[in-house]
Structure 1
Amino acid sequence: MARVPPAGDRQAEAGRQVRTAVTMIRPAVVCCAIGLAGFAQPLGSNPQSAAKWQVLFDGTSLDAWRGYKTDKVPQGWHTVDGTLAKDAPTADIVSKEEFGDFELELEWKIGEGGNSGIFYRGTEEYDHIYWSGPEYQLLDDVKGADNKTRLTCAGAAYAVYPSPAGHLKPVGEWNATRIVTRGRHVEHWLNGFKLLEYELGSPDWEARVKASKFVAWPNYGRAMRGHIALQGDHAGALAFRNIRVRAL
């Protein structure tokens, strides 16, 4: 005859079985929760990273911009078909906000023979922003007057570091520019290609500046924080879109 365990033993055994079942269920619940969390966020999305971007031009508003040493946007700059554009020479525009370490992305399209530039970390201590802020050159490399040397062709750190040829799209097509600054390190990108990088204040940079016209302005490239600016004083059509920046 089989031995019947005492009531106390039967209760203890039942308790052990329940605890074992709960222990087995918990990992499954956790795994399920993790799996659901993964489905809740689209593949490849990064909300925290995306939230860092600051739009400087959304296709309609110029609220993030003003003129150099003035509170108003100069006449000649206008919005059309979702772009920030100019058709004739006008004054430069600068970002109202200053930036130090940042990543800037924008698209630009230039007319035949056109010439412009993007300045960064510019100050308002001089008569012109290009006397203080380094420039990412924008140019029609085929017919632009500055096409005689790669030091002043599209993507160059104007008159200081040359850009390689072969990455610029034809006149009338959109180009994608990216500028990265971290401390004294600067990178120029065009259409997904890194064109150049340099170190502000390095012996090489100092020698190049000394050999350029910028030697006339002691504070050229010295500011670690300043305005982003778009050059407007050259002839020809010019348009920008999708301008955004984020602090690094």
Structure 2
Amino acid sequence: MKKIILSACILLAVTQISNAQKGFKPLFDGKTTTGWHTYNKTAVGSAWQVQDGALHLDLATKGKDGGGDLVTDKEYGDFHLKYDWKVAPKANSGLIFYVHEEPKYHATYSTGLEMQVIDNDGHPDGKITKHRAGDLYDLVKSTSEPVKPVGEWNKAEIISKKGKLTLILNGVKVVETTLWDENWKTLIAGSKFKNWENWGTFKKGKIALQDHGDEVWYKNISIKEL
């Protein structure tokens, strides 16, 4: 009887996990960089190494042209994105979305929104309001800071549906805002992006992992189109 109950519990757990992940597709297979390329290029910079199931920006292999922001080959509109990240001490990076890839824009952040990835206490940007882990970079400050200590993995989620944007860090909802309405325009007008052409206006775009010149890791990247 105990074996039957245990088997039933295991089956229930597996079913629950399956249902929870239903509709999500991996953006990173844990083994290769298939589905990604360096922004405005065709290949992937050599500094982005796949190590232990994670994408690692390895500064030791960076060289002159070995880095750059990684972007997905595909564009996304409404979506639910999940990913894990960790940084080295004093490091800075970001998950950038709604990126419009075109040679006239020199970087992913020229058009895309960013959920901040950073060592809050070790990197100078962490001293700036709206530049801390989980913030909608330079636009909306997190309501709390559930970030893990440097070197530990954080679980993040970005949900964007019909203009409603939600950012979640380690299971805590840290940012909620509405995109592309009058308040959004006001937020941009009060930010560093106020004079940037078309910034924050694209309703479909690519997802990027930022090379900010510091060591960072990403894994378990999956997405569900909504």
**Above 0.5 in TM-score?**
yes
- The Cα RMSD (Å) is 1.8
3-state SS in 2 of match to 1:242: strand
Q: CA deviation at 1:87?
A: 2.6
Report the number of matched residues: 208
* Cα separation, 2, equivalents of 1:140 and 1:92: 19
For 1:43, which of 12, 17, 34 is the aligned residue? 12
- Aligned equivalents of 2:172, 2:19: Cα separation in 1: 26
**Secondary structure at 1:176 match in 2:** strand
Letter in 1 for 2:91: G
1:97-120 per-position Cα deviation (integer Å, ceiling 9, x unaligned): 111111110101101111000111
The equivalent residue for 1:111 is: 88
| TM-score of the superposed pair, with normalisation by structure 2 | 0.86
Decide which of 84, 89, 102 is 2:55's aligned counterpart: 84
* Alignment pair present for 1:238 and 2:207: no
Looking at secondary structure, tell me which structure has more helix per residue.
1
- Matching residue of 1:97: 74
Structure 1 residue 48 displacement after superposition: 6.7
Deviation at 1:131, TM superposition (A): 1.3
Aligned-partner SS, 1:43: helix
Shift of 1:51: 4.3
Retained in 2: the 8 A contact 1:86–1:237?
Answer: yes
Cα gap change, 1:83/1:224 in structure 2, threshold over 3 Å: closer, same or farther?
same
Q: 1:72 aligns with which of 3, 27, 43?
A: 43
Q: Hey, what's the Cα distance between the residues in 2 that align with 1:81 and 1:98?
A: 27
- CA deviation after TM superposition for structure 1 residue 203, in Å: 2.5
8 Å contact kept, 2:134–2:145:
no
Asked which structure has the greater CA Rg, the reply is 1
Write the mapping of 1:180-219 to structure 2, written as runs, cut at 5 A: 180-219=159-198
- Counterpart Cα distance in 2 of 1:119 and 1:236: 16
Distance 1:166 1:54 in 2: 28
Runs of 4+ residues deviating >6 angstroms: none
- Aligned letter for 2:180? G
Give the whole-Å Cα distance in 1 for the aligned partners of 2:83 and 2:21.
16
* CA deviation vs aligned residue, 1:127-183 (integer Å, no higher than 9, x gap): 111111111110100111111233100111111111134311000100000000002
Paired residues for 1:7-22 under 5 Å: none
For the residue of structure 2 that corresponds to 1:204, the secondary structure is helix
Unaligned runs of 5+ in 1: 1-38
Q: TM-score, normalised by structure 1?
A: 0.79
In the alignment, structure 2 segments of 5+ residues that lack a partner are: 1-7
Matching residue of 1:6: none
**Equivalent AA in structure 2 for residue 105 of structure 1:** K
Conservation of the 8 A alpha-carbon contact between 1:110 and 1:237: yes
Please give the alpha-carbon distance, in whole angstroms, between the structure 1 residues aligned to 2:189 and 2:131: 16
Corresponding residue SS for 2:194: helix
1:124-163 equivalent positions in 2, closer than 5 A:
124-125=101-102, 126-163=105-142
Checking the alignment, whether the CA contact within 8 Å between 2:38 and 2:71 is kept in structure 1 is yes
Kept in 2, the 8 Å contact 1:98–1:228? The answer is yes
What secondary structure does 1:207 align onto?
Answer: helix
Name the SS for the 1:168 alignment partner. Answer: coil
Q: Which stretch shifts more, 41-50 or 182-191?
A: 41-50
Q: Percent identity?
A: 33
Matched residue of 2:126: which SS?
coil
